Amino acid sequence: MLLQRVITALILLPLVLAAIWFLAPPWLYLVFSGAGLIGAWEWTGMMGLPQQGPGAGRRWLYLGLTALALAGAWALHGCWPWLAAASVAWWLFALFLIPGFPGNLQRKRPGVAALGVLGLVLLVPTILSLAVLRDHPAPDGALRLLYSMALVWVADIGAYFAGASDDGVTMALPWREDLVGDPETHVIASGVVTALLDNCCGMAVWDKINAFKPVATLDLRIDYMRPALPGHELKVTAKCYKLTRSIGFVRAFAYETTVEDPVAAAQGAFIVTAAKPDAGDVKA
């Protein structure tokens, strides 16, 4: 599954980057809506609608309703905060459902109509918000959108923020079968470790400047010392130890239990827009 994801990313990434940088917001929204319709089709499977037989037409009906909802949302995109509020309200409600999951779902599964409405609440405001986020003065809008999508990718692999201290910022990644690079050893793929190190280093720069500023990887050297242990959660701790007017310098370690026994060590430099340098730093 990981290989399939990598191949898909290599094909789609150049197209997505070109769309984000060069398409006007209405056309970009159209591209995102196409992806949303693919998501709606997959959602019909979760709703339990049949792919064949007499009930198969309901899947196409739901796809048409989703397309109408996306078109209507763009027509009302000036009111996008109100549309996004519906999605935010659902996620706040979902926080109360998480402690009882999956038992609460097994006891009372939502009906087809409820799942259909939920799919629209999840898909439509999200796609509209992405297009609106891009509609900021260039290049800030494109950078914000790209970083938002990177955060979504990190969340998709299961990584999460595990805290901050004087030692730096820490992220963690639970072991999952679909993240394995070698089926025989069950070791997490090195590309996943690289992505986690890169994201955590960028977060360490944010922690240092105590503000949200566009951050881009200028240089990242990673030394792998051993394979990650199969079945163990992987942690990354990164610290920005030096900050100039335009560059943050970061060290990071990937490990399971302690940084004294690391899986990998990273040293990186990150471009920062309008960062406040440490006292006595040299302009860069």
3-state DSSP of 181-235:
EECCCCEECHHHHHHHHHHHHHHHHHHHHCCCCCEEEEEEEEEECCCCCCCCCEE
Q: What pLDDT score was predicted for residue 263?
A: 94
92 alpha-carbon distance from chain centroid: 19
**Who wins on pLDDT, 237 or 280?**
237
**Who wins on pLDDT, 18 or 153?**
18
Per-residue pLDDT reduced to its tens digit, 187-241: 888 888 998 899 899 889 988 988 777 788 889 999 999 999 998 999 999 999 9
Q: Where in the chain are the domains?
A: 2-153, 159-272
CA distances 124 to 13, 37, 39, 89, 144, Å, are 22, 10, 11, 14, 19
Nearest Cα to 41, choosing from 57, 60, 55? Answer: 60
Q: What angle do CA 80, 98, 62 make, to 5 degrees?
A: 50
Question: Rounded mean pLDDT of the chain?
Answer: 83
The pLDDT of residue 154 is above 60: yes
Q: What pLDDT score was predicted for residue 241?
A: 94
51 contact partners, CB below 8 Å, separation of at least 6: 45, 59
Calpha distance 197→255 (Å, rounded)? 11
* Cα within 13 Å of Cα(70), Cβ side: 27
Per-residue pLDDT reduced to its tens digit, 32-85: 898 889 889 988 988 888 877 777 788 899 999 999 999 999 998 888 888 888
Q: Confidence class of residue 275 from pLDDT cuts 50, 70 and 90?
A: very low
The one-letter amino acid code at 283 reads: K
Q: Confidence class of residue 8 from pLDDT cuts 50, 70 and 90?
A: low
Per-residue pLDDT reduced to its tens digit, 243-262: 998 899 999 999 999 999 99
Q: Confidence class of residue 10 from pLDDT cuts 50, 70 and 90?
A: low
**154-164: average pLDDT:** 78
Q: Confidence class of residue 283 from pLDDT cuts 50, 70 and 90?
A: very low
Calpha distance 195→202 (Å, rounded)? 11
Name the range with the highest mean pLDDT among 51-55, 161-165, 181-185, 197-201: 197-201
Q: What pLDDT score was predicted for residue 176?
A: 85
CA distances 184 to 2, 43, 180, 224, Å, are 14, 33, 9, 20
The pLDDT of residue 269 is above 90: yes
CATH number of 159-272: 3.10.129.10
